[in-house]
Chain A
Amino acid sequence: MATHRLTNPLSDMFWRRPRVLLALLLAPPLLWLGVVYIGSLAALLLQSFFSIDEFSGLINYEFTLKTYGELLRPANYDIVLRTTLMAAAVTVASAVIAFPIAFYAARYAKGRMKAFFYLAVMLPLWSSYLVKVYAWKLILAKEGILTWAVDGIGASAALNALLSLPVIGGNSLSVSYIGTFLVFLYVWLPYMILPLQASLERVPANLLEASDDLGASRGQTLRHVILPLAMPGMIAGSIFTFSLTLGDYIIPQIVGSSRNFIGQAVYAHQGTAGNIPLAAAFAVVPIVIMGVYLWMAKRKGAFDAL
């Protein structure tokens, strides 16, 4: 009985004032988030408003927009544009590819098929990212298995035509934008499929019946009911694919034409170059792009079905 009494005051207090317990539980993670996450973001933002002195190469700790102006120089602007276009292309393509897979999994797959689906989608996520990227480098190489397979079916003329395209082509798939695109697409696809599948599963079946009953064809139901209701999942997935592509600096370094993406530029400028302000300004670009993207998605009503 003695111990019973002793332990009571504290738990009684928590019962009377549940917020105290909540505050105690939340304080450590909030502190962590606040200091480490918000803190580092703020530091990054601050750095981007400094500039590097052209003459001495020293950082000038005075507020200026000059560094952001640097982003508009053709070489830097190219990087931003290149990265954004790649991220957009990867996002659109993964949405197009993920949709039928997710739709099948959400509406038709049952039991073992469903387990197989999860396994098939998740399995690539379990292996190392680097291993996958290196494997793709070998697949796409000039003397790699894809070239061999294309040769085997007698389609090398088509492949060569593809590779001779300006800008996106190259000496081989592995040194072209097409190659970079394919690897991005492969690596981030699961991040599109899973949220899309979750949102498709939440679309009530009777809404599809209602649409059918009201005279809509399959295509109309897809367009007017399924797509709008799957939009939150698609937005969630596209946030993953878009931001992951925006920030990645490994894939374009291993597969592609060595033209820099934003992540690589950040890495290069914050490294031996010591140009932290420009690196910070580059790092702010994806944040701004994502902000604009989410704002546009919201305006378009992408979150209305939430």
Chain B
Amino acid sequence: MSARLLMTAAVTALVAAQPVLAQQTSLGKGEGQVDIVAWPGYIERGETDKSFDWVTKFEEATSCKVNVKTANTSDEMVALMNEGGFDLVTASGDASLRLIAGKRVQAINTDLIPSWGSVDDRLKNAPWHTVDGTHYGTPYMWGPNVLMYNTDVFGDTPPTSWNVVFEEMTLPDGKSNKGRVQAYDGPIHIADAAQYLMAHKPELGIKSPYELNPDQYAAALDLLRQQRGLVGRYWHDAFIQMDDFKNEGVVASGSWPFQVNILKSEGQPIASVIPQEGATGWADTTMMHADAAHPNCAYMWMEHTLSSNLQSDLSVWFGAVPSVPAACSDGRGMQTQEGCDANGLADFEKINFWTTPVSKCESQGECVPYYRWVSDYIGVIGGR
């Protein structure tokens, strides 16, 4: 995709021409406020649920008032950051590189974040926020896309493979899975199909589900066309999916731990698994605007995201995995080791984190770019 190309060019230029970007070297007094663009539910101050609050104490301790602007898509986040007027953004893998390429975010000085060392080693240099050894943000939260299923239907034989959503079969309750499974209504779901093919059709030679040559891509689309016959409605909105599991007779689907946790808490017969083929997933990063008006408060917030109860409680709230492994077990919040394990802590290696497919890809030179994914996936859902 264009963004990646632009990015490569831009980052090269950036690094070459301006090796010393005005990176902050010391922290001053807080400026009184910090403005953050975030996913819904990411920054809670106890207003939705009293027990989920990771803002109030920060404000008391630093006198930095936290202002949140929520955004529902990565594009919205990029657009808001382009507009300006914000200090921080919780960017996902697809937005983060675009922001770096567009010089909307600045490199951060990890020395000013005392808890940097506590970050999960697997995330410290993750490619979605580190370019040529320069860090452009602090890891915020990550999680897998799990296979959610109905325990009444599957009983003693929980699914172990994504085949329940890709192949027509008889489920343990004796009825077909036709019309009773769902898939994500976004082109990125092509990657899930590709990942399934990595395990089941090794002869295709897929190395990364985000880097597909035309043959591999065509095979993934064929698999998705087969899936179309099984799916009544694709899911788009987490709450609609939960409703579909309750009222539409849906019994299995790719999903997020978020939905799984909420449905379980409502007493629904729901469980989830990361099947043998592995899973795709998302990882978000707190990034700082190039023209942040409140850099001191921004740095204080980044430190806060790593050191406070945030990692622990947010991972419970969102069904995600903390970027600070200690947050699972040291009792700073509600999260427990079991909880982290359930949300996928140990599955990091099984997860292919979301990145934007581009035509110039690392594994095989020429790949199908994302814009084709978009139009072709629309076609597949439309029955083509």
Contact = CB atoms under 8 A, between A and B. Distances in A.
Q: Are A and B close enough to touch in the complex, i.e. CB under 8 Å?
A: yes
Interface of A: 52, 55-59, 70, 73-76, 78-79, 82, 137-138, 141-144, 170-172, 174-175, 253-254, 256-260, 264-265, 268-269, 271-275, 278
Nearest to A273: B374
Contact of B371 (A52, A143, A172): A52
A142 B248 contact: yes
B249 A258 contact: no
Interface stretch (B157-165, B230-238, B330-338): B230-238
B361 to A, nearest CB: 12
A259 B381 contact: yes
A258 B381 contact: yes
B370 A171 contact: no
B75 interface: yes
A122 B280 CA distance: 46
A254 B234 CA distance: 9
B359 interface: yes
Interface stretch (B1-9, B265-273, B313-321): B1-9
Given A58-B5, A272-B370, A272-B374, A171 B358 contact: no
Contact of B378 (A55, A79, A175): A79
A74 B379 CA distance: 8
B222 interface: no
Given A74-B379, A260-B378, A273-B374, A58 B2 contact: yes
B2 A174 contact: no
B248 A274 contact: no
B379 A257 contact: no
A141 B371 contact: no
Contacts of B356: 272
Interface in B220-253: 231-234, 236-237, 240, 243-244, 246-249
Nearest to B369: A57
Given A57-B371, A172-B232, A172-B248, 8 more contacts: A52-B371, A56-B369, A73-B379, A78-B383, A79-B382, A142-B249, A170-B232, A269-B371
The 3 closest A-B pairs by CB, nearest first: A75-B379, A273-B374, A175-B232
A82 to B, nearest CB: 7
Given A58-B5, A274-B371, A137 B243 contact: yes
B74 interface: yes
A57 B2 contact: yes
A143 B247 contact: yes
Contact of B382 (A56, A82, A174, A253): A82
A272 B371 CA distance: 8
B167 interface: no
Contacts of A52: 371
Contacts of B232: 170-172, 175, 257
B376 interface: yes
A57 B359 contact: yes
29 contacts: A57-B359, A75-B378, A75-B379, A75-B384, A76-B378, A82-B382, A141-B244, A141-B247, A142-B249, A143-B247, A144-B247, A171-B180, A171-B248, A174-B248, A175-B232, A175-B233, A175-B248, A253-B236, A254-B237, A258-B231, A259-B383, A268-B378, A269-B374, A271-B75, A272-B74, A272-B370, A273-B187, A273-B370, A275-B374
B243 A138 contact: yes
Contacts of A260: 378, 381-382
B73 interface: yes
A159 to B, nearest CB: 15
B376 to A, nearest CB: 7
B213 to A, nearest CB: 14
Contacts of A144: 247
B371 A275 contact: yes
Interface in B4-31: 5
A235 B369 CA distance: 44
Contacts of A278: 375
B87 interface: no
A137 B371 CA distance: 31
Contacts of A137: 240, 243
Nearest to B185: A258
A137 B239 CA distance: 12
B211 interface: no
Contact of B75 (A55, A143, A174, A272): A272
B240 A254 contact: yes
A152 B384 CA distance: 38
Interface string B356-368: 1011000000000
| A74, A142, A143, A256 interface centre (most CB from chain B within 10 Å) | A142
A142 B240 CA distance: 14
B179 interface: yes
B378 A272 contact: no
A171 B289 CA distance: 47
Nearest to A253: B236
B94 interface: yes
Contacts of A59: 2
Contacts of B237: 253-254
| B74, B187, B370, B375 interface centre (most CB from chain A within 10 Å) | B375
Contacts of B243: 137-138, 141
B303 to A, nearest CB: 31
Contacts of A75: 375-376, 378-379, 382, 384
Contact of A55 (B74, B180, B359): B359
Nearest to B76: A271
Given A79-B382, A172-B232, A57 B5 contact: yes
